[in-house]
Amino acid sequence: MNNCPAVAPADASSPKNTQDNKLLGQSGISVDIPAQEMVGSEFDSRMMQRCLELARRALGRTSPNPLVGAVVVKDGEIVGEGFHPRAGEPHAEVFALKAAGDSARGATIYVSLEPCNHYGRTPPCSEGLINAGVSKVIVGMVDPNPLVAGGGIARLRAAGVEVVVGVEEAACQKLNEGFIHRILYKRPLGILKYAMTLDGKIAASSGHSTWVTNQDARSEVHQLRAACDAVIVGGNTVRQDNPYLTSHQVGGHNPLRVVMSRSLNLPENAHLWEVAEAPSLVLTEIGSSRDFQAMLLKKGVEVVEFPSLTPELVMTHLYERGFCSVLWECGGTLAASAIAQGAVQKILAFIAPKIIGGSNAPTPVGDLGFTTMTEALSLERVRWRVVGSDCLVEGYLPQISQ
Ligand SMILES: Nc1nc(O)c(N)c(N[C@@H]2O[C@H](COP(=O)(O)O)[C@@H](O)[C@H]2O)n1
Ligand SMILES: [Zn+2]
């Protein structure tokens, strides 16, 4: 799968989904390249792919910052590499320049995101590159952050550095679709993931659901968790499945495991209350059981009370915590509310070639209030691929007018 995120909305303050399917390079921020056309040589593409490979080493750990990789090339050879490890630490370019040392003078640097041009937690990379004497900068994508937004490229060009923009642009945007969404919409990207049988059920009518999909699909879900900042379930999922929601990867990142429960009618001994491996957060409403809250706090589980617990407010809360991407792994009722409230932009549906039947067996998305097929949400930029014996369908939701 290789598609790019929806970006460049008319109103970037809106948390709702967007139908605007333009590439970042085509809109809002001006970039002098036509999208979809190959920019740069095959060698440039290979170097940019190396940048993305380096960037992925920090998967799940950089929010609210992006994943960025950089490679310094001199006389056709890589002389320095780097990636951004986490917010507050130096940017990818700084690590790559440091590794290159004096060889950076007159060299070309590839970087998957436009070099920054502002004083944030760290100083501007544009100045660092100019001071190091690089002669050419090859950029994957323009930084949507309004503090940068083409300013890094302009600064470099003003200093006489040659700049090429848009090498492997779609792949660079895809890697940072959560960061882009966060910057443009002031919300994390919401990804609804579910696994269902060929007849559209996520469990048997008894509630039994282990396992709908094969091991390959479950490993893919573990990788997905490792790349996300948080994973959300509702109380029903805790009661019925008692999940761990970890990435099951040695040394891999674990997302914050979030439970939404108005009543706190939850089991006392759920796996999610074991926080040695990964942190947990319970979101509830004011007035829910103080005793249960005290028990959770004692076990190290964070509890936050809302006057009214809704997916929309939860996404606002997670944005304020600095998150870029949130995985909804909930049941159908919560999934429907999350979709209706614009808390989901992307769908990942694993479909297993199995039939369970049962008119009461649960389905992935509950009532959306639609009564005709013309109201159905048609996904955009749909891709699918086979994962073991299952099929994974990926797509983006259109904007819902409310
Ligand atoms: N080009 C580039 N390389 C990196 O390694 C980066 N982390 C970024 N990030 C951009 O700068 C903002 C964060 O700045 P501070 O880390 O706070 O100094 C981030 O929002 C991106 O716009 N860019
Ligand atoms: Zn920087």
Q: What is the pLDDT of residues 153-204, one digit of tens each?
A: 999 999 999 999 999 999 999 999 999 999 999 999 999 999 999 999 999 9
Average pLDDT of the chain? 91
For residue range 202-251, list pLDDT tens digits in order: 999 999 999 999 999 999 999 999 999 999 999 999 999 999 999 998 88
Q: Is 353 left (phi over 0), alpha (psi -120 to 50) or beta?
A: beta
User: Cα–Cα distance between 398 and 402 in angstroms, integer?
Assistant: 13
User: Cα–Cα distance between 114 and 129 in angstroms, integer?
Assistant: 12
Residue 235 has phi, psi (to 5 degrees) of -60, -35
- Determine how many CB atoms are found less than 10 A away from the CB of residue 284: 23
Is 288 annotated among the ligand-binding residues? no
Q: Is the dihedral of CA 303, 309, 315, 316 positive or negative?
A: negative
Q: Per-residue confidence at 38, pLDDT binned at 50, 70, 90?
A: confident
b/e for 202-214, b at 16 or more Cβ within 10 A? Answer: bbbeeeebeebbb
- Whole-number pLDDT of residue 250: 86
The answer on pLDDT for 306 being more than 60 is yes
Q: How many Å lie between the centroid of ligand 2 and the Cα of residue 3?
A: 26
User: Cα–Cα distance between 322 and 182 in angstroms, integer?
Assistant: 9
Residues with CB under 5 A from ligand 2 (ion): 91, 116, 125
The answer on pLDDT for 8 being more than 90 is no
Look up the CATH superfamily of 186-367+376-396. Answer: Dihydrofolate Reductase, subunit A (3.40.430.10)
- Top mutation candidate among 86, 113, 141 for ligand 1, by most atoms within 8 Å of CB: 113
**Contact indicator for 111, 140 with CB cutoff of 8 Å:** yes
Q: Per-residue confidence at 10, pLDDT binned at 50, 70, 90?
A: very low
Q: Per-residue confidence at 20, pLDDT binned at 50, 70, 90?
A: very low
Q: How many Å lie between the centroid of ligand 2 and the Cα of residue 252?
A: 25
**ipTM higher than the 0.95 cut:** yes
For residue range 348-400, list pLDDT tens digits in order: 999 999 999 999 999 999 999 999 999 999 999 999 999 999 999 999 999 65
Q: Where are the domains of the chain?
A: 42-176, 186-367+376-396
Across the range 282-292, mean pLDDT stands at: 97
Q: Per-residue confidence at 114, pLDDT binned at 50, 70, 90?
A: very high
User: Cα–Cα distance between 32 and 46 in angstroms, integer?
Assistant: 21
Same fold, 42-176 and 186-367+376-396: no
Would you say the CB of residue 125 lies under 6 angstroms from ligand 1? yes
- What radius of gyration do the chain's Cα atoms show? 22
Q: Is the dihedral of CA 109, 111, 116, 122 positive or negative?
A: negative
The answer on pLDDT for 319 being more than 70 is yes
User: Cα–Cα distance between 343 and 326 in angstroms, integer?
Assistant: 9
**Contact indicator for 87, 78 with CB cutoff of 8 Å:** no
Strand partners, 113: 141
CATH class name, domain 42-176: alpha beta
Would you say the CB of residue 330 lies under 6 angstroms from ligand 1? no
DSSP labels, 310-376: -HHHHHHHHHHTT-SEEEE---HHHHHHHHHTT---EEEEEEES-----TTS--SS---S--SGGGS
What is the rounded end-to-end Cα distance, in angstroms, of the chain?
31
